[in-house]
Chain A
Amino acid sequence: MAAASSSAAFFGTSEENQNQMIKQQQSSTTPPSSSTAPQTKKKRNQPGTPNPDVEVIALSPKSLMATNRFICEVCNKGFQREQNLQLHRRGHNLPWKLKQKTTKEVKKKVYLCPEPTCVHHEPARALGDLTGIKKHYSRKHGEKKWKCEKCSKRYAVQSDWKAHSKTCGTREYRCDCGTLFSRRDSFITHRAFCDALAQETARHPTNDLTAMGSHHLFGGNHHQMSLGLSQLQAHNQPSSNMLRLGSGGAAKFEHLIGSPSNPSSLHNMPGSMFFMADAANQGFHQDHQSPHGNGPYMNKALHGLLQLPYLQGNTNNSGANSTNLFNLGFFPNNGGSSSMSAGESGGSSAVNLLNSGFLSGNQFNMGDQVGSGLSSLYSTTTSMQHESISPNMSATALLQKAAQMGSTTSNHTSSLLRGLGSSSSSGMKPERQVLAANFGGNFGGGGSSRGGGGGGGETLRSQMENDDNNLQGLMNSLATANSSIFGAGHGQDQSNFVGGFAGSGGTQVEHHGNNNFSNVNEGNKLHQNLAGSIGGTDKLTLDFLGVGEMVRNIGGAGSQHGINIGSLNPEMKSSAQATSTQQFGSGKLV
């Protein structure tokens, strides 16, 4: 918990960190050690041991730029060096004198750059030889008057230009990015980073694309959600829901629109909805609330089958009234209309928020079949929808949590997932209760309506127990299937178990149970039922598919899995119409 919250704070500020980082990078490339040594005495740079008593010479720009500063007074010929002038004077029969090498007495000379802004203007950084300072001055502060005719590159020092001219065009290095280099070393340096940079820019568009795609998806969902909402408000017209379904992408259901009031066609829906496009899911949660509010009757078969195992867990956890409240908040929230649900259920908005946090993942992810897109999509939704509730946990915190969970659940037949569920809810205590409440709430909704609006989960449960004996067998088989999937011994600590699965599968089974039930029996509210059944069945299908997959995956248990399914199917037949059963079967195979 502490880890989670700390990490939350941490991630919250990650943006800033980034900025900080950039600055840091820049500053850190300027080496830290430069400031480590006190900068008091900078010796001039000179090979060997530093010699403190040097002669510092400051030449004027003019004399530095003068090519031949030693001029013969007779013929005005200029020389670069005095020695050469002396030798020249000899030719004019003028007195001349060559300097003798007085090796040791001569002070070493260093030369200052006359440019005040230059680092070599400081005596401490004076350059060690005359030609060096001349070239330095021309290169850095002089005019670049030598131009290469081939490549138009300009040089301030003639010898540089000459050296360049010799090789210009003969050797050139062209990078893929189009830049030309005449020097191999600069080319190599450039290449080392250019490749990567080029790839980077090439890759950026795709990055943007995925990002956009996810936003798109999100936007799309949102749109459908609101669509669903408006439908709900108009839910007295039978056809409206149907139409929405059609628009949701399931063209094959359009034939149903013609006979919405026919119960059998109604039952067709669940089956066919197995193949519904995902878009329909978005409507699903929204539509849920109408069956709840209107008080569906119980279909024994389906209800018992689907709900009983979970019911037990639910009742353990929370009082009937509160659960009902939570539940009401729960579904509307999934539709993304928290305000509306709050109004309808009269529940506190905080509760609603929690709920939405809980299931919103469902909604969005269901719509998304693309694995890679999934994550980004998911993260968008989570951050948008319940930022305040479920912070992104750092991997470190997750590992710690996993370890913790492992040790706390060690007494039971430890299943990670079960531990997972319990811990994930324990990470956020309120949520856990809500999770549990949700289940109860589902029932509560049904029960209360049946009982005239007052009842809660408890009522429902008792009704269930009374009514649904014949389903026990089926249920049991389902339970077996479940346990084989999810782990041993869910009977003991079922509340945790269910809670853990809330995010994963339990909820779906559960509420579609409700919906199916309402579908079958509620002739009057045809459109609502339809919608409910659609959503419900879709979920159901998916879940059963999941179960099927899973059992297969577990390997070695294939035959048992077959049995379970088999037992499910007959029940389905009896409870629902034959058509739906068949479709269920086929859906499962898909």
Chain B
Amino acid sequence: MFQDESSSVTSSSPLQVFSMMSLSPNLGSPYPWLRELKSEERGLYLIHLLLNCANHVANGSLENANIALEQISQLASPDGDTMQRMATYFTEALADRILKAWPGLHKALNSTRITLVSEEILVRKLFFELFPFLKVAFVLTNQAVIEAMEGEKMVHIIDLNAANPAQWVALIQALSARPEGPPHLRITGIHQRKEVLDQMAHRLTEEAEKLNLPFQFNPVVSKLENLDVEKLRVKTGEALAISSVLQLHSFLASDDEHHRKKMPLGSKNLNGVHLQIALQMNQSTLGELLGKDTVNGYSPSPDSASSSPLSSSGLAKVDSFLNALWGLSPKLMVVTEQDSDHNGSTLMGRLLESLYSYAALFDCSESTASRTSLERFKVEKMLFGEEIKNIIACEGAERKERHEKLEKWIQKLNLAGFGNIPLSYYGMLHARRLLQGYNCDGYKMKEENGGCIVICWQDRPLFSVSAWSCRK
């Protein structure tokens, strides 16, 4: 009986072989006993079900995926333990992916989704407050700016996502206390919402006024991807610094399409090959499936490779954007990115990687906030949940959350003509102290590639910060 079962799942495509391997025969239905599992057992079972479900989704066997989703829904809960919470958003993402096969249905169901600016700001603010990641990034960025701008009388900063005044308030304060006197400071903030920029301008002007620092805020209402770099009004004689916090990865989105145009075969076949190799190398057990090595083994995704000039004839969007930034000849550029590989070409690859990173993030929030905390719920749902949904459910240009590892960014930035400069030692000291302030062992900071910083939860890298200058 069970042999029939497995043979029905087994079929020619390596992806399916893959899925069968991880698909354990016990697609249990058993609602009653599922509920009796302890947290740990339930967590493991959830992982299993999620993998199964993703396999079904990847294979297009919706009926089975539906069954798995139903089972998960018995166990997952947005206010339960970490795995339950995580599973909630992963299922939502998988379901969304399925639903996208029926665009009408998908649109209808999402027609009333409104993202309130205020909510957006609030969630970003909560993320900033609950977790140390952005704070560390800001500390490192600001210290790099201060050191790079030493002695400069005209300082211009371009913030690619001007949503959080805290960073610049801190900088204004630091600059106003400069031994050689405060510079003229101009901050160009880019954001697609005017309200956000207004608020930012208000807050920063207030602070600068208070400290009598000559200051000008230059709002640019635009989506980053539509940004006309020429419009940034960089003047000669001013020293330019660019700050990019979690922004660059969205430029990878168009690479995908670019790549598809180039490869009429479609990425599916290619993935198949990748997987097959992976399967030959290791018997794909769950362990290997989840294990780092295998994941890394097949993760070099075709589209991330395509951004190198060797493989692509035209310039990918991220490259042209970086080139444009380089054209402004900034004295400094500080890049903060999610340090994960969420840009794999296969659903399973992305699922596995994101399981790991979001597990870490959800663990962070477990360590930070109580289970009933509404703030925590909001961050998890509106930030992590939405990112997961984007990673899992979206493809092509729609898929914006293409987090990539630091090495990839180093490659890209090098190609664009930037030279890595080590982050300030003083800044690192500061950041480290900040992390220690959280009084929990989980948060760690690692120095990589001589002067780049990776912020980790336990051993899982989550965010990278690196500083760059124009290599002439």
User: For the complex, would chain B's binding face be called helix, strand, loop or mixed by DSSP majority?
Assistant: helix
Asked whether any CB of chain B lies closer than 8 Å to the CB of A293, the reply is no
The answer to whether residues A394 and B439 also contact, given A192-B117, A408-B287 and a CB cut-off of 8 A, is no
B-contact bits for A479-500, CB 8 A (1 contact / 0 none): 0110111111000000000000
CB distance from A384 to the nearest CB of B (A): 13
Which one, A359, A393, A547, contacts B40 given CB within 8 A?
A: A393
B44 touches A41 (CB 8 A): no
- Enumerate B109-129 residues with CB–CB distance to A below 8 Å: 116-119, 121-122, 125, 129
A192 contacts B122, CB within 8 Å? yes
A557 vs B182: C-alpha distance when bound (angstroms): 76
- B26-55 interface code vs A (CB 8 A; 1 in, 0 out): 111111111111111101110110010000
Residue numbers in B under 8 Å from A41 (CB-CB):
179
Complex contact B286–A394 (CB within 8 A): no
Contact call A33/B142, Cβ cutoff below 8 A:
yes
B226 at the interface (CB under 8 A from A): no
A39 touching B177 by the CB < 8 A rule?
A: yes
A163 within 8 A of B: no
Q: In the complex, which residues of chain B have a beta carbon less than 8 angstroms from the beta carbon of A42? A: 177
CB-CB < 8 A to A401: which residues of B? 40, 44
A424 & B44 in contact (Cβ 8 Å cutoff): yes
Contacts of A554 in B (CB 8 A): 5, 27
In the assembled complex, which residues on chain A have CB atoms less than 8 Å from the CB atom of B129? Answer: 25, 29
Q: Does B430 contact A (CB under 8 A)?
A: yes
**Interchain CB contact under 8 A, A488 and B25:** yes
Stretch in contact with the other chain, from B209-217, B325-333, B338-346: B209-217
A148 at the interface (CB under 8 A from B): no
Contact of A193 among B71, B118, B366 (CB under 8 A): B118
**Residues of chain B with a CB closer than 8 A to A375's CB:** 77, 79-81, 84
Contacts of A423 in B (CB 8 A): 44
- Which residues of the partner chain B approach A485 to less than 8 Å between Cβ atoms? 25-28, 30
Report the separation of the CA atoms of residues A239 and B296 in the bound assembly, to the nearest whole angstrom.
66
Residues of A within 8 A of B229 (CB): none
A503 touches B48 (CB 8 A): no
Interface string of B369-393 (1 = CB under 8 A from A): 1111010001000000000000000
Chain B contributes a number of interface residues (CB within 8 A of A) equal to: 122
The answer to whether residues A483 and B2 also contact, given A45-B212, A362-B36, A420-B45 and a CB cut-off of 8 A, is: yes
Instruction: Let me know if A398 and B30 touch, CB within 8 A.
Output: no
- Complex contact A28–B434 (CB within 8 A): yes
A192 to B200, CA, bound (A): 12
Bound CA span A357–B41, Å: 12
Q: Is there a chain A Cβ closer than 8 Å to B356's Cβ?
A: yes
Q: Is there a chain A Cβ closer than 8 Å to B367's Cβ?
A: yes
A170 interface residue (CB < 8 Å to B):
no
Q: Quote the shortest CB–CB distance from B62 to chain A (angstroms).
A: 12
Task: From A12-20, A241-249, A316-324, A525-533, give the one contacting chain B.
Answer: A12-20
**Which one of A97-105, A196-204, A221-229 is at the B interface?**
A196-204
Q: Are A188 and B199 in contact (CB under 8 A)?
A: yes
Q: Tally chain A residues at the interface, Cβ within 8 Å.
A: 124
Tell me the complex Cα distance, A408–B287, Å.
8
Q: Verify B286–A414 contact, CB threshold 8 A.
A: yes
List residues of chain A with CB within 8 A of the CB of B57: none
Nearest CB of chain B from residue A473's CB, rounded to whole Å: 16
**Nearest chain A CB to B296 CB, angstrom units:** 13
- Residues of chain A lying within 8 A (CB to CB) of residue B442: 10
A392 interface residue (CB < 8 Å to B): yes
Which residues of A have CB within 8 Å of B289? 403, 406
Given contacts A36-B146, A378-B35, 7 further A-B contacts (CB under 8 A): A24-B439, A204-B374, A368-B35, A375-B80, A379-B39, A408-B287, A485-B26
19 A-B pairs with CB atoms under 8 Å apart are: A24-B437, A28-B132, A31-B169, A33-B170, A45-B176, A45-B182, A45-B213, A185-B199, A193-B118, A393-B40, A402-B47, A402-B290, A404-B287, A405-B44, A410-B286, A416-B44, A416-B51, A487-B2, A504-B36
* A residues apposed to B, CB below 8 Å: 4, 6, 10-11, 13-14, 16-18, 20-21, 24-25, 27-29, 31-34, 36-50, 125, 127-128, 185, 188-189, 191-196, 200, 203-204, 207, 210-211, 357, 359, 361-362, 365-366, 368, 371-372, 374-376, 378-379, 382, 390, 392-396, 398-399, 401-410, 414-421, 423-424, 427, 480-481, 483-488, 503-505, 508, 542-543, 545-547, 549-557, 560
